[in-house]
Amino acid sequence: MSEISRRLRLLLGLVALSALLVSCAGAASSSTSSTSQPPATTVEPDPDLLCDPNILEEFDGPPGPFFLCRPFEGMGPTLGGKVFEREGGSNVEDAMVAWMAGPTSDELAAGYVGGDLTAYPAVMSGVVIEREATTVFMDFEHWEPMNISTSAANQLFVATLLGTAFSDPTVDWLWVSITGTSCPVFIGEEEHCFPMTRAQFIDYLRLR
């Protein structure tokens, strides 16, 4: 065998070895990336229990957290939603605390969603809720970047917050302040001014 032939066979062998090493490295990388992120755990809605997104139930008490039914899916002229009773909850202050904790697993299975603040413990622990006659005051003493930057997430947060406050038929006004400011208040992509009346809340649901 000539010197040129030996060198050519050696070169081909090195090329084949390099290709094998690259293939093995790619397979290892793929295996690592596929197992490094565990799947998120979520409650999937039960088709047999799903609520109607076009039905807005009457606010005739008792007070409780207000959650929307599959917002922005088959949406009609008004966002559909429901006020849920909580055991031991007898006033609007209890309702607001329940709203911050978000829907239960059964409510999620029925398609209801709301403003769950459990991922933001500093925000939850810094909320002051007070009642004076027909007005509810809710002061967020701490605020941090929250996952409500999209239009849909912002509307969900605001609609369920307002609905929870007005779930008590004796409440006519809601006054929200964030770190001391009531007007303008920036929540996600929208600017709001408080106080807000019950009629303005209903208009908010109809204009979404």
> What are the boundaries of each domain within the chain?
1-36, 66-207
Alpha helices in 104-149 (DSSP H): 105-109, 121-125
Q: Does residue 118 or residue 76 have the better pLDDT?
A: 118
Max Cα–Cα distance, the chain, nearest Å? 104
pTM tops 0.75, yes or no: no
Question: Is 2's pLDDT higher than 50?
Answer: no
Taking only the tens place, the pLDDT of each residue in 124-147 is 889 999 999 999 999 999 887 777
Tell me how far apart the alpha carbons of residues 59 and 169 are, in angstroms, rounded to a whole number.
7
Burial of 96 (0-12, 13-18, 19+ CB in 10 A): buried
